Amino acid sequence: MSSPPICLGDTVLLADVGNTRIKLAVLVDHGVMDPEQPTLHPTQLTHRLPTVGRRHDLTSHGFRHDQLEKWLKSVAPGAAVVIVASVHDAAAAKLEACLAELSVTSHRPLRQRRIGHADLPLLIRLESPHRVGIDRLAAAAAAGILKTPGRSAIIVDCGTAATVDMVSADGEFLGGAILPGPSLMARALAEGTSKLPEVLALEQSAPPPMPGRSTHEAIAAGIGFGIQGAIARLVAEARTTLGGDADVILTGGWRGAVRAVLPGALDMPDLVLMGVALAAERACAR
């Protein structure tokens, strides 16, 4: 896809296309970046984290054209550029096709730009950065600015798949761990057994007390306490690896289910979108 130029006068819309949801937002303000200095990682950034607003969610599977059109009319009545970060190719392709159609039918330019790892202000200490999910990298770029100067950061992203990633004190992405989120765990139990039901809505609450007094409660307890234990252990391992104090940053739709085991964690529900906004601002400086 072509990469249209972005300027400070553009209305910039952001799209984080995940496995379950498409998170949309507006870049509310642009920071100030020095176009003469190439930005490699967050320690070189000279502006604060950008602000995003007017959030709206679509389902990645089967969202309707009119849902997108209604949101666009409310936030960008004129021309706009849409910055897309995606880990779901089919959903991103549908989104981009809808945007292209709306650009014609509404008689206003809706330019698009899908970002990759090279668009982010982040130094990636991995052999194949292009194979890392752009959502993880966008979150890491934003975390590199949010974290306390001189400290490392641990990012816990509670999505369809959960990730626990590390950013060094120098703002470098070091990698991390990936595990299934509660909905995938519940689906695996239901599909991998003959009689266990699929337990829904586990992502919105803490696990029930032990012991579970029904099959539903037993599954909810197993998944709920299991995910809490896994996340807590991974964060502890990350702290050990980093060898010092680290800021823990929590994001994602079911983060409330693990907040109790991460005391002091910074709650940042739009962390990935903030990282996508950084890519947009970096494009403005070029």
Write the DSSP string, 216-246.
HHHHHHHHHHHHHHHHHHHHHHHHHHHTS-E
Q: In whole angstroms, what separates CA 207 from the centre of its chain?
A: 24
Residues carrying an active site annotation: 135
Please name the fold of domain 12-117+274-284.
Answer: Nucleotidyltransferase; domain 5 (3.30.420)
Q: Longest C-alpha distance within the chain, in Å?
A: 64
- Sole residue written with tokens 């104090």: 245
User: Superfamily for 125-136+143-270?
Assistant: ATPase, nucleotide binding domain (3.30.420.40)
> For every one of its 286 residues, what pLDDT tens digit does the chain have, with 9 covering 90 and above?
445 555 556 789 999 999 999 999 999 865 444 333 333 333 334 347 888 889 899 988 888 888 998 998 889 888 889 999 999 999 999 999 999 998 888 878 888 999 999 999 999 989 898 999 999 999 999 999 999 999 999 999 999 999 999 999 999 999 999 999 999 999 999 999 999 998 876 655 677 778 989 998 899 999 999 999 999 999 999 999 999 789 999 999 999 999 999 999 999 999 999 999 999 888 766 5
SS3 for 201? coil
Helical residues (DSSP H) of the chain, grouped into ranges: 65-75, 89-105, 134-146, 182-192, 215-242, 271-284
Q: Residue 144 has what pLDDT? A: 94
Phi-psi region of 150 (alpha: psi -120 to 50; beta: other; left: phi over 0): left
Listed in order, the ranges of the chain carrying CATH 3.30.420.40 are 125-136+143-270
Contact 116, 14 (CB under 8 A): no
Write down the pTM of the prediction. Answer: 0.88
The CA-atom distances, in angstroms, between 72 and each of 92, 103, 234, 244, 274 are 16, 11, 39, 45, 19
Rg (C-alpha) for the chain, rounded Å, is 20
Residues in the chain: 286
State both tokens at 103.
């650009």
Q: Residue 248 has what pLDDT? A: 97
